[in-house]
Structures are given as structure tokens and as C-alpha cells.
Structure 1
Amino acid sequence: MIQLLVSRTQSLKSDILSGLTVALALVPEAVAFAFVAGVDPLVGLYAAFMVGLITATIGGRPGMISGATGALAVVMVSLVADHGVEYLFATVVLMGIFQILAGAFRLGKFIRLVPHSVMLGFVNGLAIVIFLAQMKQFQFTDSEGVIRWLQGEQMFIMLGLIALTMAIIHFLPKVTRVIPSTLAAILAVTLLVMGLDLDARTVQDVLADMSGNVDATIAGGLPQFHIPMVPLSFETFKIIVPYALILAAIGLIESLLTLTLIDEITETRGRGNKECVGQGVANVATGFFGGMGGCAMIGQSMININSGGFGRASGISAALFLLTFILVGSHLIEVIPVAALVGVMFIVVIGTFEWASLRLWGKIPRSDLIVVIAVTGVTVWQDLAIAVIVGVIISALVFAWKHASHMSFVVRDEYDTKVYFPNGPLFFASIHTFRDQFNPKLDPPEVIVDFANCRVVDHSGIEAIESLAERYVKAGKELSLRHLSPECRKLLNKAGSLVEVNMIEDPNYKVADDRLA
């Protein structure tokens, strides 16, 4: 049985109404991302429908909304421009296969390696990106094809309707929760514009600006099964594999980070590996039905959660409502004022941005603050996947540097023997500290290094020990190594005869080295 609800406090009614709200906001986003990728609007809408429906049904995070996203669209644009839309469909299918494999091999757990500082930068950067994306709605293309900002009465009406939308969303829940405040705001602003015949930009105007066709519409039929028309050759494989890998990685990173964020908001636990498989199945399907593929959408997911949509039924209903709009309700969606949707997204921005992070100066380590700022900046400047990778690398390097400084030594003289007791991890960042502690020329004829409190972590540590052994051999001194793990002894090619084996006291742990494989 598909679990439609995740708690007793929520209802199917809340999920369905929340799904309707999300569907209204999905239309302009899906169309916009389709144009970014250089494909027909219906390619984006079909992707939003199919990816949203399948991930909501079999994915690992109830309440999370998936669809066509800008992070994927910016990668797709060069593929479509160079090879055509059929190669895009083939790439989306392969992308989905890679994501299924990621779930099957349980790679979703690696999202735990993302530090909290990277998560802060992630949500702050996405909030800024969502805000900046709305600025396009304050622009229009004139008769000469020049992009201009709204002026005078049009700008005044736009700002007024945005403020009204935000006010309804903020204050209505204090009066009643019978209807999601976001949906109520969109309906109220739409009726106001139509009743007063205000000169406000609508979804139809946005479609016309993007396509250059005043009769542009989101109307269409059911998605049709379609095998991508590409040659089955090694050349095709070489073209689509790099794009598929990049798209799969970006899609999974964005989806798993959004899953983690919703976990924190709802205080529930999503299943990362199941979400990887769900995203993969959805992308394989949408590639065969003429869609551009997709992943989790943090903006729409936040709208859904804020509107009370915590169950699977919210994502399923959003997808079905979207299909209904495509088939029979396009004229209803196209009259919605853009200002209402912008107001909704501004509320999402306010709710997504981690305002508490502005007060972290002096309260957290400077390195963590640098990571937050760096991830935020790279998310805005480049994209989410690069930002997360940059943040994890910076955090890893800081971690390595701090632990390298934890290497310390205790030195004792026992009769004619000098005993070194290193303390701390021996790995690539601490090997220089380790080497500098020894002076074979000045040490007595017999030297012992006791590793009881020192763990050899990687291949660099092994090489440091072997290099130390060579130095003492050249100096004509006798070096003994105590309390090394069996793996270390196995990897020490040149120093193996110097190791004292104690089966009872020697530690037992693994060393990160390819030779053990």
C-alpha cells in the first residue's frame, strides 16, 4: 500500500489543496526552465507532471515536490543546441539509470558527509537564487525586442499585488486554516485583477514574452510514449554519457539536500536511497515520454510544506492538477497575475533563508563561517552542485588541518633506548609533523616507535613510516615499531622486519589504501 499520509494530524484534504497550490506555481517555473534548456514548453510541463507523479508515489520523502529545475536546465542547453532534443531524451533516460544505480548501491547515505555549515550556505544561496529569479517578472520585451523594466502604473500595480499576496499568506492562517493561505492568496488576487480590470501581467503575458508568440499556450495532450530517435552507436554513447553523469549528480545532490532540509522542518526522516531510485525511475520514464527530466524543487517543496502538504497525496495531486491544466484548464491558469506567484515565491524566500545565520559572526569557528559564505556565493554564482562540492572540500581540508595539529609526541629514555610515543592520527596532513620529530643522527643506537596511541589512517602514513625506517637504516641505527595494526604490517614493504608483533596488544583497524583491495 502506498502511504498517502505520514501523520495523524494531517488530512487528505490538506494534501489535495496544497497540491493545487503547488500546481499553480509549477506552471510558470516549468515553462521558464523549458525555455532555458531550449525546448518546447510542453517538454518542461510533461517533465514536471511525470517526475512529480512518480517521485511522489515511490520516492523516499513524502511532501517533497519534484519537477523540471533550473539547475538541470542550464546543463541541458548546450546538449540541445549542439545535438537536438532527441539526444536530450536519450540523456535523461541514461541519467535515470545512473540514479537508480546510485540508490541500488546505497550511495544516498553519503549525504551525511555534508556538514551543517554547507547546509546553511545551501539554503541561503537557494533563497537568494529564488529571489533573483523573480526579478525577471518585473521585466518585459518591447516591440523592438529590447528587455525593459516595468514603469509607472504597471510597476505600482505589480508591487501592490505582491504585497497583498504576501499579506494574505501571512495573516489568513491566524483567522482560518480551512483553505491553504497560499491558494487563497492566488485566487483572491486573480479575482481582484479580473474584477477591477487592472493592467497586470499574467501567465499568458509571460508565455508570450518567452516564446515571442502572442498566442502561446500551455495547452496540450497526454504525453506519448516515444523512443529517442538517436543512433545506437558508440559515438552517441560518448556524447550522452558525460551529460547524463553530470545531470544525475546534480539531480541527486539537489534532491537529497532538499530531503534533508524537509526532514529538519517536519522532524521526520526521509529515505535517501529510496529517493535516488524514485528519481531515477521518474527520469527514465519522462525520457521515454518526451520530458526534459527533473529533480526535487526546493521552492515548490517549501510551498507544499507551508500549505500543509506533508503526505504523498500532495505531490500526486499536484502532478494530476498540472496534467489537468495542460489538457483542459490552460485558459484558467493563463489569467493568473504573475504578481500573485511572485508574492508566493517571496514568502518562500523569507521562509527558506536562515536568518539566524546572520548572527553567527563570532559565535561559530571562523572556518565554518567561511564555508557558509562560500557555499552561498557559489550557489548564486554557479549552481548548487558545484557549491556543495566546494563546501565539502573546504570543510574536509579544514578538518584535516585541525587534526594534523593534534599530532603530539611523548619521548622517554629507557636505558640505552629512546622510545617515541606519537599521539593522534597519522595521515597525509600530519606526516610532516611526524617526520620532524625524529633525528636519526642524534638518537641512540636503539630507537622504538610505539603506535599504541597513534592510528595510521592512509597510504601517506604508511609511506612516512617506511621513509623513517630508511633514515634509521642509513644512519646505522636499530629501529623497532610497536603496536601497529595487521594492515599496517602488511603494507610495510621495507620496514616489515623491524616491526614487533604483539597479537594481544596490537590494534585492529583498516587503513585507507588501494593495495588492501
Structure 2
Amino acid sequence: MLQFFRSRSATAKDDLLSGLTVALALVPEAIAFAFVAGVSPIIGLYSAFFIGLITAVFGGRPGMISGATGAMAVVVVSLVAIHGIEYLFPTVILCGIIQAAIGMARLGKLIRLVPHPVMLGFVNGLAIVIFLAQFGSFQTLDRTAGKLTLLSGMPLAVMLGLVALTMGIIWLLPKVTKAFPASLVAILSVTLLSVGINQVNRGQVSGDSGGTKTENLVATVGDMLRTKAEAVAIEKQRLAMAAELDVTLVNANLENIADSDPMDLPADQASAPMVIELSQSAMDEVAASASISGGLPEPFFWKYTLPPLTFHTLWIIFPFALTLAGVGLIESLMTLTLIDEITETRGRGNKECIGQGAANILCGLFGGMGGCAMIGQSLINVNSGGRGRLSGITAAVCLLLFILFLSPWIEQIPMAALVGVMFMVVIGTFEWASLKMFRRMPTSDTLVMILVAGYTVIMHDLASAVIIGVIVSALVFAWKHAMHLGADVQFNEFGSKIYQLHGPLFFASVSSFKDLFDPAADPDDVVIDFYYTRVYDQSALEAINGLAEKYDALGKRLHLKHLSNECRSLLDRAGDFVEVNVSEDPHYHVATDRLG
């Protein structure tokens, strides 16, 4: 990885300034993910506050930033659409309970099972996802077509110029001074410049022939809010009009419709776009959604109707809660591992699980959409010097202050500044050295890395990508080690045939194990020496049992020698399959008949 994330000691000043930088970057992310989940932007902001604050105080990784995330939003969107927002909050609470229980059961250590190629694929795929996600900020609303379109002309040129300026400041400022986080200086500098540009050009910017029109030459966070809210409102009204049109057609005279020729419609009517004028109620909804201003969060049951506390409700929310818990913990623990590697320190996975669970419980109680660790914002924090818990606490508190008091100022921040910061995060996140490792890495590891990265980019599902990578790596490992089982054969002075096994005996190597023996041709006394091997699972036990039955049917005896305590424990648990006794010879453990 590039030396973008420099090693530095934690200081209160760095944590405070880094936390402020992260808070500025959290605003558009939380809002965007709220739109994805189908809830109000203020819910996304409240979620980021609660998740960020609780995990910063009680989590297992100082310096890691948590908040409302896209992975969680994708899970809850169908729940909100089908059952209503009232079911969202109990689901988030149950998700938190599951996560806390996993932490208390000390299952966070399972993250150690993630191989390094999976980690490389995860990091590289994540960098590409963050990079592609920034292009959403290069969109504006074409009101004639009623949809989002890419910027063009002067607005696009100015946007690109400010993005490049932001990246240049972040790259050059540390070479001059490290007194202030480069990302914060870049955001503030570009914000002042964009305010001046918009003041000079206000009301003079018009779009192309497509009908696009923007108020500001430089799009700001406030513009992004209004654009997203208006696009959502137009889509809702379009769906409502389409449903009303369907009802009208159904109630029409079917015979007249059958006699008419749809090709008789004038060409201009057939192809003209449907211009949608928003109703007053829709405009009011857009105005309410186009600001980050709000009051203190309140318990959800004060504003929403509680769903019935029945088994049926639990049956509805439990699958969503379980999925949320799994997705949140996988992303959080993977982020924890990444921050550990960057900072060369060690986080506590189980404590992080408990912290995430407590955060989601409180978030659900106060009407939030849930969340987990945010990799992009965590990397911004680390790069800006945030190392302690104070950085995460500062980010959460500043976010709440933005909502309560500073919304008009925060809405003036240009999206170009935030995009530039995230582009620098992409450069620092991508494991460039992995491109040079292809020739030196085993082919299987290279394929796993590409698989995880590709799945992350295509599906935007980080948790599933990690799970798939771990499964494929485990299968590759099992296949390779299944080929390593062999035996050295010799005879002792008593005429016994001794098989000296080498390699692991488990489900994948059972077939090779069986092929090593020839019961019909072997002498009456056979010894299997496990000094260089181990019995790992039930498949191995059944293979030993089947082999013992073959020798017993031929009137021959089978001895097991040098079994480890772990192997003895597994064999003792075999119950109905294998009986293990100590033979008269003190050096041997004898496998005899199956228990009846």
C-alpha cells in the first residue's frame, strides 16, 4: 500500500481536527444511503450520529469510524417498501442484540479465518467501488426528462477543476506542513472558492438542449439534497400516474380499444416525453428532504405506530435482522483488520461486536436505520491523523451540531471537495503492490483475489464477497492437502505390517487413505502409525471404522499407534461407529468392532 497513511502518534489536536474532517465527509454519505433505504435523509444522519458515537466510545478499534452504510441500506430497503418504516426500527434493535450476543460469545475471532488474498481482493474491490460511487456526484436533474443526467459543459469543467484542486492540496500540503489535516484544509479552501464562484454566476447558468438547469455553477451538498429529493418525488409521481393510467385502460371500452390501431397515434404524441409537474404536497416533501436541519432525535415510538408485538412480527423481522447483523459485523471486522494493518496496532474484534450491537440497539430505539464501520471515512480519519477514540466522538458530535445549528453552512460545501477527498482515499486504499504480485502468487490465490474484487465491484456486496472468498480459499486448501496423504510401509520383527502415515486425514483425503491399504493381501496383524498425521473429522473416523470392519471380516487385527490426545478425543466421541481400547501391548491403541 502507498505511504498515503503515514504512521503517527495520536494527539488530541489531530483527533479533533480529523473528527471534524470526517464529519463533513459523513453528511453526503449518510444522506445518500438514506435515499437508498427509502427513508428520510434526517434518519440517515441520526443513524450516523448514534452509530458513530457509541462505537467510538465502546468499540474495539479506536480511530475507526462507523455510521449508516450502503450495505445495511440495501438490506432494509425491501423491508421498508413491503412492511413500512414502522418495522425498520425493531429490526435494527434485534440486529443489535444479535451482534452483541456474537461478541459476548467471543466469535469475533473468526475474522482470523479470512486469508490474505481475500483481504487483498476486498481492499482492491472496495477502492474501485468507492471510485465508481463518486460519479453519482457528477449528476444533475433534467426536469424535462424527469431523470438524473450527467453534467456537461461549464458545470462539468468547473467540477473537474475543483476535484483536481482538492486532490492537489491533499497531496502537496503535507510536504509543507502537517499542522492541520490536509483533507480539512482542502475542503475549507475549495468551499470558500466555490461560494465565490456561485455568487458571481448565480442565476446565469443554464443547461444544454436537454433542459437541464442548475441554480449554482458549483453543485453543493444542498444542491445534491434537492436533486435527490426531487428525483425521488418525480419517480413516485410517475409511478402513481402509470398506475392511474392502468386503471383507466382497464375500465375503458375494450371493444373500442380492440378496433383501434395504436399505430394511428401521431408520431409526436407517441414519442414525446411525459413532463411531470410535481403536486404541492410533493413539493413540500422535497423541501422537507432538501435540508439536513433537524431537532434532537426522539424515540421512534413517539412518532411512529408500533408494529404488533407478536410472533408474526418476529417472523417478518428476524431474517432481515440476521442479515443486517452478519453484513454489519463482516464489514466492521474487515475494516478493523485493515486499520490494524495500516496503524500497526491491534484492535479487539469481540469488543467491536459488542460495541456495534449496542450502537444499533440505541440507533433503533431513536428511529435510525442501523449501520456499521465505514471504510472510506475510517481511512479519511487515519490519513488525517485520527488515532484515538476522540476522533470518532468528535465526528459524531460535530454531525449532530450540523443537524441542530450549522445546516445552512454545511449545505454550502461543494460536492467537488468531497469527491476529491474520496478519490485520494481510493488512491491510498488500492493495494498497488498486488499488481506486481501476480507472477509470484500461487495461481489459486490470484484467482481468489480477482474473484473477491470482481464480486465486490459487480454486486456491491462486501460481506458476500468475503464469505465467497473464504469458502473458495477453504476448498482450495482442502483440495491441496487432500493430495498430501501418503504412507511408508515396512514390517517389524513380529511380521506385522506397519503403515507410517504422512499428511492430514480428513474428509478430502479419505479416498486417498482407503487406497493405501490392501486388507486381502495384508498379514494378520496390521499397524497404522499416526505419528506424522492427525485425524480431524467424522469422515476420517468413518474411514477408519470401515477399514477396521474389512480387516475384522478377514479375521485380521488393526492397531492404531501414536494417536494424539485430540485424535483420541475424536475417536472416543465416535460412539456407535468406533470402539477404542488399549491393547495388551502398551504401545498400541486398538480399533475393534462397531458398537451395536
Question: TM-score, normalising length from structure 1?
Answer: 0.93
Task: Note if contact 2:559-2:589 (Cα within 8 Å) is conserved in structure 1.
Answer: no
Residue number in structure 1 paired with 2:20: 20
Indicate the RMSD between aligned Cα atoms, in angstroms.
1.9
Task: Note if contact 1:483-1:501 (Cα within 8 Å) is conserved in structure 2.
Answer: no
Candidates 290, 294, 298, aligned match of 1:224: 298
Task: Look up the SS of the partner of 1:42 in the other structure.
Answer: helix
Residue number in structure 2 paired with 1:259: 336
Correspondence 1:157 to 2:153 = no
1:262-290, Cα deviation, whole Å (9 max, x unpaired)? 11111111111111111111100010101
Candidates 242, 250, 258, aligned match of 2:319: 242
Residue number in structure 1 paired with 2:104: 104
1:232-265, Cα deviation, whole Å (9 max, x unpaired)? 1000011111111110111111111111111111
Residue number in structure 2 paired with 1:210: 228
What is the CA distance between 1:497 and its match in structure 2? 6.9
In structure 1, how many angstroms separate the alpha carbons of the residues matched to 2:68 and 2:536? 42
In structure 2, how many angstroms separate the alpha carbons of the residues matched to 1:310 and 1:32? 27
| 191 and 503 in structure 1: CA distance in 2 versus 1, 3 angstrom threshold | farther
In structure 1, how many angstroms separate the alpha carbons of the residues matched to 2:319 and 2:293? 34
Q: Which moved more, 1:465-474 or 1:59-68?
A: 465-474
In structure 2, how many angstroms separate the alpha carbons of the residues matched to 1:139 and 1:497? 71
Task: Note if contact 1:481-1:500 (Cα within 8 Å) is conserved in structure 2.
Answer: no
In structure 1, how many angstroms separate the alpha carbons of the residues matched to 2:181 and 2:117? 32
Q: Which moved more, 1:250-259 or 1:476-485?
A: 476-485
Residue number in structure 2 paired with 1:394: 472
Candidates 429, 432, 436, aligned match of 1:359: 436
What is the CA distance between 1:190 and its match in structure 2? 1.1
What is the CA distance between 1:402 and its match in structure 2? 1.9
Task: Look up the SS of the partner of 1:443 in the other structure.
Answer: coil
In structure 2, how many angstroms separate the alpha carbons of the residues matched to 1:167 and 1:339? 13
Task: Note if contact 1:480-1:499 (Cα within 8 Å) is conserved in structure 2.
Answer: no
1:386-425 alignment, distance < 5 Å: 386-414=464-492, 416-425=495-504
What is the CA distance between 1:399 and its match in structure 2? 1.4
Q: Which moved more, 1:175-184 or 1:19-28?
A: 175-184
Residue number in structure 2 paired with 1:381: 458
Residue number in structure 1 paired with 2:75: 75
Q: Which moved more, 1:200-209 or 1:74-83?
A: 200-209
In structure 2, how many angstroms separate the alpha carbons of the residues matched to 1:162 and 1:417? 79
Opposite residue 296 of structure 2, the aligned amino acid is: L
Task: Note if contact 1:37-1:73 (Cα within 8 Å) is conserved in structure 2.
Answer: yes
Opposite residue 261 of structure 1, the aligned amino acid is: L
Residue number in structure 1 paired with 2:3: none
1:297-356, Cα deviation, whole Å (9 max, x unpaired)? 000001111111111111111111111111111111111111111001000100011110
| 9 and 209 in structure 1: CA distance in 2 versus 1, 3 angstrom threshold | same
Residue number in structure 1 paired with 2:117: 117
In structure 2, how many angstroms separate the alpha carbons of the residues matched to 1:428 and 1:499? 26
Task: Note if contact 1:72-1:250 (Cα within 8 Å) is conserved in structure 2.
Answer: yes
What is the CA distance between 1:475 and its match in structure 2? 3.5
In structure 1, how many angstroms separate the alpha carbons of the residues matched to 2:180 and 2:561? 71
Task: Note if contact 1:479-1:498 (Cα within 8 Å) is conserved in structure 2.
Answer: no
In structure 2, how many angstroms separate the alpha carbons of the residues matched to 1:294 and 1:270? 19
Residue number in structure 2 paired with 1:173: 174
Correspondence 1:87 to 2:87 = yes
In structure 1, how many angstroms separate the alpha carbons of the residues matched to 2:578 and 2:102? 40
Residue number in structure 2 paired with 1:196: 197
Task: Note if contact 1:404-1:430 (Cα within 8 Å) is conserved in structure 2.
Answer: yes
1:174-222, Cα deviation, whole Å (9 max, x unpaired)? 1122221111111111111122335111111111121115631111100
Task: Look up the SS of the partner of 2:487 in the other structure.
Answer: strand
Task: Note if contact 1:56-1:64 (Cα within 8 Å) is conserved in structure 2.
Answer: yes
| 25 and 494 in structure 1: CA distance in 2 versus 1, 3 angstrom threshold | closer
Residue number in structure 1 paired with 2:238: none
In structure 1, how many angstroms separate the alpha carbons of the residues matched to 2:371 and 2:581? 58
| 378 and 499 in structure 1: CA distance in 2 versus 1, 3 angstrom threshold | farther
Residue number in structure 1 paired with 2:517: 438
Task: Note if contact 1:482-1:499 (Cα within 8 Å) is conserved in structure 2.
Answer: no
What is the CA distance between 1:488 and its match in structure 2? 4.5
Q: Which moved more, 1:491-500 or 1:290-299?
A: 491-500
In structure 2, how many angstroms separate the alpha carbons of the residues matched to 1:444 and 1:285? 70
What is the CA distance between 1:18 and its match in structure 2? 0.9
Candidates 459, 483, 486, aligned match of 2:538: 459
What is the CA distance between 1:503 and its match in structure 2? 6.3
Q: Which moved more, 1:191-200 or 1:378-387?
A: 191-200
Task: Note if contact 1:103-1:274 (Cα within 8 Å) is conserved in structure 2.
Answer: yes
| 503 and 171 in structure 1: CA distance in 2 versus 1, 3 angstrom threshold | farther
In structure 2, how many angstroms separate the alpha carbons of the residues matched to 1:305 and 1:175? 19
In structure 2, how many angstroms separate the alpha carbons of the residues matched to 1:479 and 1:290? 66
Q: Which moved more, 1:263-272 or 1:416-425?
A: 416-425
In structure 2, how many angstroms separate the alpha carbons of the residues matched to 1:224 and 1:273? 30
Candidates 335, 343, 347, aligned match of 2:424: 347
Task: Note if contact 1:186-1:341 (Cα within 8 Å) is conserved in structure 2.
Answer: yes
Task: Look up the SS of the partner of 1:93 in the other structure.
Answer: helix
Residue number in structure 2 paired with 1:233: 310
Candidates 487, 491, 504, aligned match of 2:569: 487
Opposite residue 168 of structure 1, the aligned amino acid is: I
1:365-413, Cα deviation, whole Å (9 max, x unpaired)? 1111111111111112221110111111111111112221221101113
What is the CA distance between 1:60 and its match in structure 2? 1.0
Correspondence 1:429 to 2:508 = yes
What is the CA distance between 1:446 and its match in structure 2? 2.9
Residue number in structure 1 paired with 2:594: none
Opposite residue 32 of structure 2, the aligned amino acid is: A
1:21-60 alignment, distance < 5 Å: 21-60=21-60
Task: Note if contact 1:33-1:44 (Cα within 8 Å) is conserved in structure 2.
Answer: yes
Candidates 378, 383, 390, aligned match of 1:306: 383
| 191 and 501 in structure 1: CA distance in 2 versus 1, 3 angstrom threshold | farther
Structure number with greater Rg is 2
Task: Note if contact 2:541-2:578 (Cα within 8 Å) is conserved in structure 1.
Answer: no
In structure 1, how many angstroms separate the alpha carbons of the residues matched to 2:545 and 2:416? 68
Task: Note if contact 1:435-1:464 (Cα within 8 Å) is conserved in structure 2.
Answer: yes
Task: Look up the SS of the partner of 2:296 in the other structure.
Answer: coil
In structure 2, how many angstroms separate the alpha carbons of the residues matched to 1:36 and 1:402? 43
Task: Look up the SS of the partner of 1:127 in the other structure.
Answer: helix
Residue number in structure 2 paired with 1:512: none
| 275 and 494 in structure 1: CA distance in 2 versus 1, 3 angstrom threshold | closer
| 379 and 418 in structure 1: CA distance in 2 versus 1, 3 angstrom threshold | same
Correspondence 1:183 to 2:184 = yes
**Structure 1 residue runs without a partner (length 5+):** 1-6, 508-517
1:80-123, Cα deviation, whole Å (9 max, x unpaired)? 11111111100000000111111111111111111111111111
What is the CA distance between 1:8 and its match in structure 2? 9.4
